[in-house]
Amino acid sequence: MHSPHGGLFQPTVTQAIRLLSSRESQLSNESANIPHRDISDPFSSAHLTYTTDGTDSYPVPSIYQTRKHAWVHIYPEGRIHQKADKTMRYFKWGVARLILESEPCPDVVPIWIEGFDRIMHESRTWPRFIPRAGKDVSVTFGERVDMEATFGDLREKWRQMVLDAEKEDGSVELGVCPENLKNDEKAVKLREECTMRVREEVLKLRRGRAWPDEDPKAQLADTWRLEGKPGKREGQMADGSWVHEEGVKRPR
């Protein structure tokens, strides 16, 4: 799933929410009542595709019954970010939408990957396209997060917000954020808090790898402005990190 048109409310986030959910997708009566575990031709109906910009077309991943309540792998920093002390950038808020809006609440398993920068560091010179061999990479998996204890209060607040929105605007479609909750101050704060809690789960793994605690400011969205000069989005930043935006087509 990808989109060159990023953002918190891009169509791919809607599709990710539906893919994580196990209740019937509300795409259409036709698609929701398909009796087969799979379908042979996902392009046979407009209801079975979605668009990211109004002109392209992709198959709806959640239309396959075998993919309901599926696994979605998220890189919440949203770009390549390499820093010697392994400090992470702020996490983008799309991960909060996946947790708050999926039904039922999805499981979260934090993962810490370390060593890719040794293989393909952004500062590498010619032959830049060749991975550096003989480097160590470690992948650390955390325990499944206790979702009710960690996010239950936030999901309940979101659920109440949606109920209030339905009273004003009618039924809310799964994966589609009500217009009045996109920029609502309370909704924004809720997404921010949810994202920070996700980040804390990953930080537990980072500590387990014997890295010292980060500066708390690293988790804030405003902190990224300190990385480099105004308008500079890639390369070596003022804080010593290396940033690259290639392939930034993941849910924001």
Count of structural domains within the chain: 1
In a domain, 31, yes or no: no
The arithmetic mean of pLDDT across residues 26-32, rounded, is: 40
Confidence of residue 4 (pLDDT cuts 50, 70, 90): low
In a domain, 181, yes or no: yes
Q: Which position has the higher pLDDT, 85 or 44?
A: 85
In a domain, 28, yes or no: no
In a domain, 227, yes or no: yes
In a domain, 6, yes or no: no
Q: What is the pLDDT of residue 37?
A: 42
In a domain, 53, yes or no: no
The arithmetic mean of pLDDT across residues 118-126, rounded, is: 91
In sequence order, the β-bridge partners of residue 141 are 111
What is the Cα–Cα distance from 212 to 128, expressed in whole angstroms?
Answer: 31
What is the Cα–Cα distance from 119 to 111, expressed in whole angstroms?
Answer: 19
In sequence order, the β-bridge partners of residue 219 are none
21 φ, ψ (degrees, to nearest 5): -85, 150
Q: What is the pLDDT of residue 228?
A: 65
Q: Which domain holds residue 180?
A: 11-22+69-244
In a domain, 109, yes or no: yes
For 167-203, how does the pLDDT look when each residue is reduced to its tens digit (9 = 90+)? 877 778 888 899 999 999 999 999 999 999 999 999 9
The arithmetic mean of pLDDT across residues 53-81, rounded, is: 79
In a domain, 44, yes or no: no
DSSP assignment letter at 236: E
Residue 79 and residue 248 in contact, taking contact as beta carbons nearer than 8 Å? yes
